[in-house]
Amino acid sequence: MEKDFTSVSSIIGQIKKELGLDDNYFILMSVWEKEIGNNKVELNGFKNGTVFAKTESAVYLHDLSLRKKQLIKRLNQYLGKSLIKNIKCEIK
């Protein structure tokens, strides 16, 4: 009886892809706090052109909404292409 095995790295790659955790997400993680300017807005994910974030304060939510277009432009510069189309942030 012959068994089909799938490598662990292949499985992890599939899971990362389904969760939106590709190389672009890790680039975003590395520059997020620098571009946000504080550690009060947490990066939660990136999928289908949308960055997902959470904060504990309405003040930071409002600040993010005011800077949204500029922030999208800056983050896309780090990625080297226009992958980010939207940022959705909610209060925890």
CATH number of the structural domain spanning residue 47 = 3.30.70
| DSSP-derived 3-state class of residue 79 | helix
Task: Determine, yes or no, domain membership for 74.
Answer: yes
pLDDT attached to residue 54? 96
- Residues of the chain with pLDDT below 70 are 1-3, 20
pLDDT attached to residue 1? 52
- Residue owning tokens 């499985």: 11
pLDDT attached to residue 16? 76
Tokens matching residue 54: 């959470």
The boundaries of the domain holding residue 66 are: 8-91
Closest to 76 (Cα-Cα) out of 50, 52, 53, 55: 50
Task: Determine, yes or no, domain membership for 1.
Answer: no
pLDDT attached to residue 92? 87
Q: Dihedral of the CA atoms 39, 40, 41, 43 (nearest 10)?
A: 50
Q: Over the stretch 36-49, which tens digit does the pLDDT of each residue have?
A: 988 899 999 888 89
pLDDT attached to residue 57? 93
| DSSP-derived 3-state class of residue 67 | coil
Task: Determine, yes or no, domain membership for 41.
Answer: yes
pLDDT attached to residue 78? 94
